[in-house]
Amino acid sequence: MAGAGWAPPRLDEFILTEPLGSGTYATVYKAYRKRDTREVVAIKCVNKRSLNRASVENLLTEIEILKTIRHPNIVELKDFQWDGDHIYLIMEFCAGGDLSHFIRMRRMLPEKVARVFLQQLACALKFLHDHNISHLDLKPQNILLSAPENPQLKLADFGFAQYMSPWDEKHVLRGSPLYMAPEMVCQQHYDARADLWSVGVILYEAIFGKPPFASRSFAELEEKIRSDRAVELPSRPQLSLECRDLLGQLLERDPRKRISFECFFAHPFVDMEHIPGPESLGKATDLVVEAVRKDQEGDAKAAFSLYRKALEYFVPALHYESDARRKEAIRAKVRQYISRAEELKVLVTSSNKNLLEKGNPARELLKEMAKDKPRLCAALEVASAAITKEEEGRDDSEALELYQQSLGELLLLLAAEPAGRRRELLHAEVSASPGTPELSLVAWLQRHCVLSLPTRSRP
């Protein structure tokens, strides 16, 4: 907090308010533009008297890089000014604070949340990599969040950034020790892959709640980083194989064995093709339209493949959508597509090819979907036996006994069945369905005056 005598620098065009953070030679303030727009910005105020030759070079490089690049996952430099005492970098304001605070408030992040942030960080790094820029100070404190709710990640603080081609090597120590690649700590030559080690440390901290080399002193930290031992991943929380594989490849001490940028961007855990964005819903919709067309043409295999690909875009579309009503509308459509995809999967993978020609009768479809559930299969077989006895005009009491036995078992299974197409079909099998070609068990029992169910009065 600022002391009683604290006063921010003065800028004619802006009103500077509370400080957001400070470093060795700069303090960042929240500020308002004096124009009618009252735009909120962050202003990095650099005290000229605190600058040495190296920090002047770093500042000039930061300004040069930021004024020439624009990316939704990189904080924007709007302008820069100076006076006799200060240099001012007028930056995009990020109301969500930094990733370090976000992690501390939650202790650790679920894998799916960490993955969304990693994907956005990968987008920023891909842009920088394509422009031969290395950040060289990647850490949660330098990753800002656009808003407290549904935040978008913004990479910030390019004070140590450098233009580096993939084959360039440096030896100047840069960055923060906790996130610094071993080759930098050991004062060896390093290249752009140093950033990938830092990404691994950030991902590790997001998921496990602390960086892999958390230490009480710099000497202890240096000893851990200089060690030849492989970085071990805790057994809890349980992670997907893709996440563990990526962490192992990022936290490879030998930069020659560490994952390359190309392999990082293509890794299935990063999956840059399905990163949430404004185009996600459009891609999903185009695939669904084609899936419905193939479905109507009777091409179940192609329709199933297209529905599945569409769902891979609907998930990031839901992550990206911020409007609650639109989000719920998308969810409702997705549930429909999942149900149809489940049906088509059964039709495509079933050995009973007659299903494709029967118009997908619900009972036959349910039997196919129950093949991995022996108890459900047995209950459906009992129901089929009851139907057969009734159709053959045999002893009605025997058919009744089989119907009741099947219904009791199916009701228990229905209560335990998770949401999905199989549950919908199972519910239809046991519920009253007047007017449908396949009479349900409850409808049969009602018809034979064995089961009396209360009817709901109309409003």
The tens digit of pLDDT for each residue in 237-283 reads: 999 999 999 999 999 999 999 999 999 999 999 998 888 888 899 99
Query: 14: which strand partners?
Result: 11, 33
Catalytic residue among 98, 137, 157, 295: 137
Domain ranges (residues) in the chain: 14-92, 99-270, 280-349, 362-447
> Which residue from 86, 74, 150 is spatially nearest to 116, judged by alpha carbons?
150
Query: Is 0.85 topped by the overall pTM?
Result: no
Q: What would the mean pLDDT of 2-19 be, rounded to a whole number?
A: 70
Model confidence pLDDT, tens digit, residues 358-383: 555 666 667 767 777 888 788 878 87
pLDDT classification of 170: cutoffs 50, 70, 90: low
Closest C-alpha among 370, 366, 359, 374 to residue 424: 366
Q: Is residue 451's pLDDT more than 60?
A: no
Q: Which pLDDT does position 432 carry in this prediction?
A: 42
Q: Give the number of C-alpha atoms closer than 13 A to the C-alpha of residue 231, restricted to the C-beta side.
A: 26
Predicted confidence (pLDDT) per residue in 90-147, tens digit: 999 999 999 999 999 999 999 999 999 999 999 999 999 999 999 999 999 999 999 9
d(CA 270, CA 262): 11
Same fold, 99-270 and 362-447: no
DSSP assignment, residue 74?
B
If one looks up domain 99-270 in CATH, what number appears? 1.10.510.10
Fold annotation for 280-349: Methane Monooxygenase Hydroxylase; Chain G, domain 1 (1.20.58)
pLDDT in tens, 308-363: 999 999 988 988 888 889 999 999 999 889 888 887 877 777 655 555 455 556 66
Question: 316: helix, coil or strand?
Answer: helix
**Which pLDDT does position 439 carry in this prediction?**
47
pLDDT at 396 over 70: no
- Asked whether the CA dihedral 102, 108, 112, 117 is positive or negative, the reply is positive
Quick one: average pLDDT of 153-170? 77
pLDDT at 213: 86
* Residue 62 scores a pLDDT above 50: yes
CB 2 within 8 A of CB 19: yes
Burial label, 107 (beta-carbon count in 10 A; 0-12, 13-18, 19+): exposed
Distance of CA 185 to the CA centre of its chain: 32
pLDDT of 48 > 50? The answer is: yes
- Catalytic status, residue 195: no
CATH architecture of 14-92: 2-Layer Sandwich (3.30)
Q: Is 230 within 8 Å of 258 (Cβ atoms)?
A: no
Supply the mean pLDDT for the chain: 82
What would the mean pLDDT of 142-154 be, rounded to a whole number?
92
pLDDT for the residue numbered 395: 55
Give counts: helices (H), strands (E), the chain. Answer: 16, 9
**44 has binding-site annotation:** yes
pLDDT of residue 259: 96
DSSP state of 141: G
- Six-digit token pair at 456? 């709901």
18 vs 34: CA distance, rounded Å: 16
pLDDT computed for residue 365 by the predictor = 65
User: How many whole angstroms separate alpha carbon 382 and alpha carbon 20?
Assistant: 70
Highest mean pLDDT among 106-115, 157-166, 296-305: 106-115
Q: What confidence tier does 434 reach under pLDDT thresholds 50, 70, 90? A: very low
Residue pair 182/191 in contact by the 8 Å Cβ criterion:
no
Domain 362-447, second-level architecture: Up-down Bundle (1.20)
* Residues in CB range of 175: below 8 A, 6 or more apart: 136, 137, 138, 139, 160, 184, 194, 198
